[in-house]
Amino acid sequence: MLQEMTQDILIKNGRVIDPATNLDEVLDVLVSNGKIADISPGIEAHKDMEVIDAPGCIVTPGLVDCHVHLRESGAEAKAEAEERKDAQGGGKAKETIRSGTRAAAQGGFTTVICEPNTSPPIDSCERVEGLQRRIADSSLVNVYIKAAMTLGMQGEEVTDIKRLSGHSTVKALSEDGNPVVDERLMDEICRLAAENGLLLSCHSEDSAFSLSQSKASKSSASKPKKGGRLGFSPGQEFHNEANFIARDMALAGARNAPIHISHVSLRESLELIRRAKKSGRAAVTCEATPHHLLLDSDFRCPDGSPAIVNPPLRDKDDGEALRAALKEGLIDAIASDHAPHGEEDKKAGAPGFIGLETTLGLVLTRLVQPGIISLMDAVRMMSTAPSAIFRLGSGSLRKGAPADVSIIDTGREWTVDVGDLESLSKNSPFEGWRLRGRAVAAIVGGRIVMRDGELL
């Protein structure tokens, strides 16, 4: 996606890990004209090459975070200046394309996929095009888009999915923080997604909004289907994740629409996904976040406050089930759900954490080093798998592939200090955590965008 001039880059003596080709070997990697030109031992350096010596580091396909909030929308031109001003000002520290992609590069990510829950939502081709202009102007890494399933993300009227699918940067449909409540509406979305080749990126974090919708629709339906328009009886807030997952997988399977489940958090959800994958009735993938994998409902932030996030942190048993599913390979991808908020908004109860700059270190320290997953598994879940799921055409270092490359020093020790992070927001539950493993370079489309902690 980045269009600036590329350079010839030679990465020497790194341990190359590429799940797409099952490669794990110390080799050199040559980048030329924005592509992987060669990968072999002893490639000779020439005077015009930029040489990165990487002994003791791993060299991987560029990391992909498939669940990120960047806060800037594709608003109409007349609103852009005011929206930019609001994003930067007032002490609210909302994320921008520029700050979010700087955080991504610093965290070793070369590609992010952003959610549509901006203000206004990304629910039309005009807003997609506006967002594409902003990305071209200020992004440091590749940015792809999830478009909203319904207009205004209100769960009432389907967006123009056929037109949206014509944009190469639109890779999926999402309602972000709320599932679509109306079963008939969700079925129509599944049909249109299948017909137009778009992935359903479903959220099952049933909020007060979705439950109020479900109760209203059930009470107003004169002749509801069995189980009501929702398809099941709603219960307590944030306790319907498994129900929504079961319903959406069934609808997607009936329409032959691929479906990706965001931030799975419950044991029951994992069992449903396991059954669906074994049955083969639907093309199902799923992701988990570092905070759901590593924290539980007893966790408190450094200031002693409870950690507020959607879905909420679950019981210890759920976390154990998630880690077991990760080891089993049931969970396909690890995604940060990078959700930046200003200090005032967070104190007022805004849910979510930043994660672009901490995810890699957390995965290496708390999942790879204890042996829960291997380095190959980690690279697969953070690059190859999300690239394949969202059809990005990256996620490999094979010859001729796009030159998106991450270089990681797995032995580098560092302490999370939110004051040093590139994100405009500082709402991390991992403040003060001692981690081992950090990205030391990121190459995007043949351009070095981060090297030794410096953004270029």
Q: pLDDT (tens digit, 9 = 90+) per residue, 223-251?
A: 334 334 666 766 677 888 999 999 999 99
Predicted confidence (pLDDT) at residue 422 exceeds the cutoff of 50: yes
CB 446 within 8 A of CB 30: no
Which of 18, 337, 404, 409 is the catalytic position? Answer: 337
- Give the pLDDT of residue 4: 53
CB 127 within 8 A of CB 159: no
Q: Taking the model in full, what pTM does it have?
A: 0.93
CB 260 within 8 A of CB 200: yes
* Span 53-64, average pLDDT: 98
pLDDT band at 331 (very low <50, low <70, confident <90, very high): very high
Tokens 């109760």 sit on residue: 215
DSSP sequence for 19-71: GGGTEEEEEEEEEETTEEEEEETTPPP-TTSEEEE-TT-EEEEPEEEEEE---
Kindly list the structural domains of the chain, giving each domain's residue range(s) and its CATH number in brackets, ordered by start. 9-60+403-455 (2.30.40.10), 62-389 (3.20.20.140)
pLDDT band at 216 (very low <50, low <70, confident <90, very high): low
Whether residue 345 lies in the annotated active site: no
| 3 state SS of 319 | helix
Rounded to whole angstroms, how far apart are CA atoms 258 and 273?
Answer: 13
Q: pLDDT (tens digit, 9 = 90+) per residue, 142-186?
A: 999 999 999 999 999 999 999 999 999 999 999 998 899 999 999
- Give the pLDDT of residue 3: 47
Mean pLDDT over the full length of the chain:
90
CA 342 to chain centre: 20
- Give the pLDDT of residue 79: 43
- Give the pLDDT of residue 125: 97
